[in-house]
Amino acid sequence: MKTTKLVMLVMTIAVALFILIPNLSWAEDGAALYKTKCAACHGADAAGKPAAKIPSLVSEDAKKKSDADLTKAVVETAKHPGTVKSLPAGDTKAIVTYVRGLQK
């Protein structure tokens, strides 16, 4: 009898976690990160500022780049003075995913 109750308790917790975990976010989402870290230079629409030599992230050239290339660009940009400081890998991935969504 006690074993059955224990199994039911474990199953209930497992189901609750299965439902809740996808909805939890320990890192900011890509849109929020882009807005706070990237939009000031690249613009809310990611079109960039050609006059200031800030590239578009939604151009045909940007669309052709691999995720690894975009990730490298985000990391390299973070190293320039006056830009965002280093970002955790998860944040960089979230930004790249968000930019890919803008490119569609």
For residue 46, what is the domain's CATH number? Answer: 1.10.760.10
Alpha helices by DSSP H, listed for the chain, are 2-20, 30-37, 39-42, 60-64, 67-77, 89-102
Q: How far is the C-alpha of 8 from the C-alpha of 11, rounded, in Å? A: 5
Residue 61 lies in a domain: yes
Q: How far is CA 99 from CA 17, 20, 38, 84, 91, in A?
A: 30, 27, 10, 16, 12
Residue-by-residue pLDDT tens, the chain, 104 positions? 688 888 898 888 888 777 766 555 544 688 998 998 899 999 999 999 989 999 999 999 999 999 999 998 888 876 665 666 677 888 888 899 999 999 98
Residue 63 lies in a domain: yes
Say which DSSP state 21 is in: G
**pTM of the prediction?**
0.68
Domain with 67 in it: 28-102
